[in-house]
Structure 1
Amino acid sequence: MKAFLSTLLNPNWKSAGQNALKRFYGSAASSMQPRYGSGRLYRRISPVGDPNVSVLPILDQWIEEGKTADRVELQRIIKELTRFRRYKHALEVSKWMTDKRYIPMTSLDVAARMNLIFKVHGMEQVEEYFGNVHQRFKHHVLLTALLNCYAQEKSLEKAEATMEKIRDMGWAKTPLPYNIMMNLYYSMGRWEKVDGIMKEMDEKGLYHDRYTVGIRLSAYAAAGDSAGIDKIVEVMESNSNPKITLTWNTYGVIVEGYLKVGQLDKALAMLKKLEGQIPFSNNTKHKNSGYTYLLTNYADLGKKEEVYRIWDLFKQKEKKINNTGYMSMMGSLSKLDDIEGMERIFEEWESRVLSYDFRVPDHLIEAYCRKGLLGKAEAVLERGIAKGGVPSAATWCYMAGGYLLDGQEPKALEALNKAVSICPPDFNPSKDTLIKCVEYLEKHGNVENAEELIQSLEDIRAFSPILREKLSCLIKDPSIAEAEQGGA
């Protein structure tokens, strides 16, 4: 239940510590395979990639055809959509489940909806929703969900006040709320607070789970404390804590820690141990995640031969590699600047005739645009659309950068506008691309269009208030961009 709740509350961790913790816990939801009926319903919903296109007509049509959709099926669909950051669609399904199917909500359903409201509408609407929730739901599950939203918002005072209420109600009996607070302190660089939370857990006799240790490990890494990482590794390998088992996930977190402090030899040694853990996993999805993790980290270390060795091993051990595997290999080769290798893998992927997921060719498009090979990028884009693929916001951002590099500002602006029109919440376009497009609009007297672009990006929380202020100042004083470029 604890792992399941943590997945519901935090499906999209962003910081280094959060990524580490998500791997430590794994996803209880992902282990529940959809039943045949819900799988078919999800397959109808899945192709609707544009968040501005509602999935409600698909759901209504499903019922009109005489098919059913019970609580468990819809919960699984919500989790799957959330996993792919399709928060708006997941929220639609959640509301449809109660408003159209009249399925009573559980505490976990309410917690999941709070997280989706936060992703789609922001904290103000979360607080309004929480205030209107029936009193019977307002126990530790919902307060923990509220705490998590405040933590994601980095509203420190409100998070601390909520945590204090959880303590006062006697609900701070598991590591989960402590882990959320630890991660908030970690993300804000408050190392002393991280130690204080761990001390409080010790005083209350609460065990440190993998999540707890993962945050502390990430904090040591962020602080450049190699000795601290060694201490965590010693604890893990000593088997002194039965709640922490050494799996490929745990080795993966240690690898990241050593990479951050520049201990490359220790990182490589841990990667070898990680590789040895993969064959012992009975979960195919976990095995695939292990191989993709190895690909990414060997690429980070610049070990090209190891990347190809793991890829060959991946194909040998797992006869069917999905889109995620190809995405990882393409991304790894991009880090190594191996465009020829990317082209070969891309051709291999196309020959597999998997569902056309633009996140695979996105890596090649980005590399082409970065290298000034705009014609090749356009060819891949057009080829993907012809095959039924739907370009993502990232695709159009890459193209915008490529057009800017080629001196085609009008096309860059057109591509950026396409990206904005389908941007998911919290999407982060390239800062340089944004500044250059706003600068271009200002230079040609399109101040109103520049302001509209900034407002539309702010509406989807695509950048920080600081960047918004810079862009707004740029409209008033174009010399700002020149000064920034000169100082870069």
Structure 2
Amino acid sequence: MEGLTDAIQETLSGDENIDDQLISEEDAAATYMDNVVSETGTEVDGEEKESSKTRATSPMTEAILAARPLTIHKVLDKWVEEGKEVTRKEVASAFLHLRKRKSFLKALKLSEWLESTKHFDFLEKDYASHVDLIAKTSGIFLADDYINKIPESFRGELVYRTLLANCAASTHVKKSEEVFNKMKDLNFTLTTFTCNQLLILYKRTNKKKIADVLLLMEKENIKYSLFTYLVLIDVKGSSKDVSGMEQVVEAMKAEGLEVDTRIQASLARHYAANGLKNKAEAVLKEMEGENIKKNRWVCKTLLPIYASLGKADEVDRLWKVCESNPALEECMAAILAWGKVDRIEAAEETFETMLKMLKKPASNHFSVLLKVYTDHKMLEKGKELVRRMAKTCRSIWPSTLDSLVKLYIDAGEVEKADLILDVAYISNKGRPMFSSFLAVMHQYANSGDIHNAEKLFQKMRQAGYISRLKPYQLLIQAYTNAKSPAYGFSERMKADNIYPDKAMSKMLAQVDAFRKTEMDELLD
């Protein structure tokens, strides 16, 4: 493990401005939070968890889904008045179904009702689940406030690591480190899960700190999990260090861990991104196995990777396996894949097929085709799809918002894109993605629009995104293109614990050169 730590350190000593998306833009967030939920296990344990996954939606779940969030307490009160039971198994099933649908506010209302009515005693895992739901619906600071109200005997490691996971997922460096240090002060045992949250955080914000986490794990004799290796593989792959990526895989095997589908998919994506088509295809064939119909569940993963290799015939072959009875995820993967291989009509046909499957389409279902239109600069089609989406969907997901922002930027309507970010954030429709802010900031930076660049920078701060170097680089670029001095910029960065790399130092020096000397002022 020591050699692996050294190898990671070597990779991270280079350029920090590498694209820091884990695995892929489409599934990064889902992978992170799937990992959080599965390792935390806040709702159900063991046998109950398995049975809940396979059972149909329960009557209680149906009642909650049919209700508006603010009426859920009344719906559940009526449930009890009618003599219906409230069991842990029933509640566990409801939580799982609500989480799967991302109905976090409804899940929170259910949790609030359970806590207030005391139908059963809350355990630490119930409090941890409540913390998680508050963080997802109201933010990490209110979740932190709630922890202080939890009885001290239940304020354990599980509760704090759930908060840490949400802080890391929201890329709030200062708060994440604060929670981690609080856990150390409380003498909680340092776990693989906790360290993985720091790896997730630094993968997105400061890759150089990953080596510090690995050294800590080595010092505390904390074993790597599959997810730890997945993060390290992506660090190497996104750094274009293919041999280092393969070294991580060998280290994982040496520890007795098997390469699973997530690892294989990550390897294939990075091989493809680094131009190693033969290696990528070899991994994809291994994932597929001898009978793709038998292993159909991997199609949704294979489709976009084959598309990134330009293999339209493979996309067509895989879609034919799913076409007669497609699952929702297969449709979404196919739409993106058709877009990558320039088969727009096929993407549109698959989209219409998907809509027929859905009773109530959400904005994320529209976002996949919107992304295709945006990538191909099909602005009129994109706008028409947005109008269609507006008639169908109550809220907009961050991924859809991201495509919307880029659509308007491509149309030359930067102010409109900025306004969309404003409306989404102010109306509490979900925090816009980091890439959405950067796309608009790039436009202001390129045009030297300091006023709007500074305003957007403050919006990013409010959204919790000022913990990375990139926003500062774009802001200083705005000053550079405007040929205007940026007074106190280095001090601003230090106050936020952001330190310039070589490229940034040159930019700062250039902006400093715009300052007038005393002789210039006298001559003026």
Please confirm whether the aligned pair reaches a TM-score higher than 0.5, indicating the same fold.
yes
CA contact under 8 A between 1:327 and 1:360: conserved in structure 2?
A: yes
Equivalent in 314, 317, 332 of residue 309 of structure 1: 317
CA contact under 8 A between 1:400 and 1:415: conserved in structure 2?
A: yes
Letter in 2 for 1:365: L
Change over 3 Å in CA distance of 1:432–1:150 after alignment to 2: closer
Change over 3 Å in CA distance of 1:296–1:144 after alignment to 2: same
Alpha-carbon offset, residue 185 of structure 1: 4.5
Q: Mapping of 1:395-410 within 5 angstroms?
A: 395=400, 398-399=403-404, 401-402=406-407, 405-406=410-411
Q: Within the alignment, does 1:209 sit opposite 2:209 as a pair? A: no
Q: Mapping of 1:129-278 within 5 angstroms?
A: 129-152=146-169, 153-155=172-174, 157-162=177-182, 164-165=184-185, 168-169=187-188, 171-172=189-190, 174-187=191-204, 188-189=206-207, 190-200=209-219, 204=221, 207-235=223-251, 241-242=255-256, 244-259=257-272, 261-276=274-289
The unaligned stretches of length 5 or more in structure 1 are 1-13, 49-53, 482-488
Change over 3 Å in CA distance of 1:101–1:473 after alignment to 2: farther
CA contact under 8 A between 1:88 and 1:116: conserved in structure 2?
A: yes
Correspondence for 2:346 = 341
Letter in 2 for 1:131: N
Alpha-carbon offset, residue 133 of structure 1: 2.0
Moved more, 429-438 or 140-149: 429-438
Letter in 1 for 2:241: D
Q: Deviations over 1:164-183 (max 9, x none)?
A: 346x45x34x5323333444
CA contact under 8 A between 2:164 and 2:179: conserved in structure 1?
A: yes
Aligned residue for 2:148, secondary structure, equals: helix
Q: Within the alignment, does 1:91 sit opposite 2:114 as a pair? A: no
CA contact under 8 A between 1:55 and 1:92: conserved in structure 2?
A: yes
Aligned equivalents of 1:241, 1:280: Cα separation in 2: 33
Correspondence for 2:75 = 61
The unaligned stretches of length 5 or more in structure 2 are 1-19, 485-524
Aligned equivalents of 1:277, 1:159: Cα separation in 2: 47
Alpha-carbon offset, residue 55 of structure 1: 0.7
CA contact under 8 A between 1:369 and 1:401: conserved in structure 2?
A: yes
Aligned equivalents of 1:179, 1:475: Cα separation in 2: 36
Q: Within the alignment, does 1:392 sit opposite 2:396 as a pair? A: yes
Q: Deviations over 1:45-76 (max 9, x none)?
A: 5578xxxxx61304522542535544443344
CA contact under 8 A between 1:369 and 1:398: conserved in structure 2?
A: yes
Change over 3 Å in CA distance of 1:227–1:197 after alignment to 2: farther
Correspondence for 1:111 = 128
Alpha-carbon offset, residue 300 of structure 1: 2.4
Letter in 2 for 1:192: A
Equivalent in 361, 372, 380 of residue 385 of structure 2: 380
Aligned residue for 1:192, secondary structure, equals: helix
CA contact under 8 A between 1:148 and 1:180: conserved in structure 2?
A: yes
Aligned equivalents of 1:412, 1:182: Cα separation in 2: 32
Aligned residue for 2:195, secondary structure, equals: helix
Alpha-carbon offset, residue 294 of structure 1: 0.9
CA contact under 8 A between 2:307 and 2:338: conserved in structure 1?
A: yes
Alpha-carbon offset, residue 193 of structure 1: 1.7
Aligned equivalents of 1:38, 1:130: Cα separation in 2: 31
- Bigger-Rg structure (1/2): 2
Change over 3 Å in CA distance of 1:86–1:474 after alignment to 2: farther
Aligned equivalents of 1:385, 1:280: Cα separation in 2: 37
Change over 3 Å in CA distance of 1:195–1:337 after alignment to 2: same
Aligned equivalents of 2:304, 2:365: Cα separation in 1: 15
Q: Deviations over 1:341-400 (max 9, x none)?
A: 2122123334445542332333323443555544433443444565x4445255566456
Aligned equivalents of 2:177, 2:36: Cα separation in 1: 27
Q: Deviations over 1:13-50 (max 9, x none)?
A: x95177667677994778553687854444455578xx
CA contact under 8 A between 1:393 and 1:422: conserved in structure 2?
A: no
Equivalent in 430, 433, 437 of residue 431 of structure 1: 437
Equivalent in 346, 359, 364 of residue 369 of structure 2: 364
Correspondence for 2:514 = none
Alpha-carbon offset, residue 88 of structure 1: 3.8
CA contact under 8 A between 2:307 and 2:341: conserved in structure 1?
A: yes
CA contact under 8 A between 2:86 and 2:119: conserved in structure 1?
A: no
Correspondence for 1:5 = none
Change over 3 Å in CA distance of 1:107–1:373 after alignment to 2: same
Alpha-carbon offset, residue 307 of structure 1: 1.7
Change over 3 Å in CA distance of 1:371–1:119 after alignment to 2: same
Aligned equivalents of 2:140, 2:134: Cα separation in 1: 8
Q: Within the alignment, does 1:291 sit opposite 2:299 as a pair? A: yes
CA contact under 8 A between 2:217 and 2:223: conserved in structure 1?
A: no
Alpha-carbon offset, residue 469 of structure 1: 8.6
Aligned equivalents of 1:463, 1:429: Cα separation in 2: 10
CA contact under 8 A between 2:363 and 2:397: conserved in structure 1?
A: no
User: What is the total number of aligned residue pairs between the two structures?
Assistant: 439
Equivalent in 22, 33, 48 of residue 52 of structure 2: 33
Change over 3 Å in CA distance of 1:407–1:112 after alignment to 2: same
Q: Deviations over 1:271-294 (max 9, x none)?
A: 111112996999xxxx53x22111
Q: Mapping of 1:440-455 within 5 angstroms?
A: none
Aligned equivalents of 2:461, 2:66: Cα separation in 1: 27
Change over 3 Å in CA distance of 1:400–1:249 after alignment to 2: closer
CA contact under 8 A between 2:308 and 2:340: conserved in structure 1?
A: yes
Letter in 1 for 2:286: K
Correspondence for 1:124 = 141
Change over 3 Å in CA distance of 1:219–1:349 after alignment to 2: closer
Aligned residue for 1:245, secondary structure, equals: coil
Aligned equivalents of 2:198, 2:263: Cα separation in 1: 21
Alpha-carbon offset, residue 199 of structure 1: 2.2
Q: Deviations over 1:299-331 (max 9, x none)?
A: 22222222222222234xxx6423222111112
Aligned equivalents of 2:345, 2:293: Cα separation in 1: 34
Correspondence for 1:9 = none
Q: Deviations over 1:171-223 (max 9, x none)?
A: 34x5323333444454421243243144235xx4x543312322332333344
Aligned equivalents of 1:397, 1:217: Cα separation in 2: 26
The two structures, once aligned, show a CA RMSD in angstroms of 4.7
Change over 3 Å in CA distance of 1:165–1:303 after alignment to 2: farther
CA contact under 8 A between 2:421 and 2:432: conserved in structure 1?
A: no
Alpha-carbon offset, residue 106 of structure 1: 1.6
Aligned equivalents of 1:164, 1:130: Cα separation in 2: 16
Aligned equivalents of 2:363, 2:32: Cα separation in 1: 28
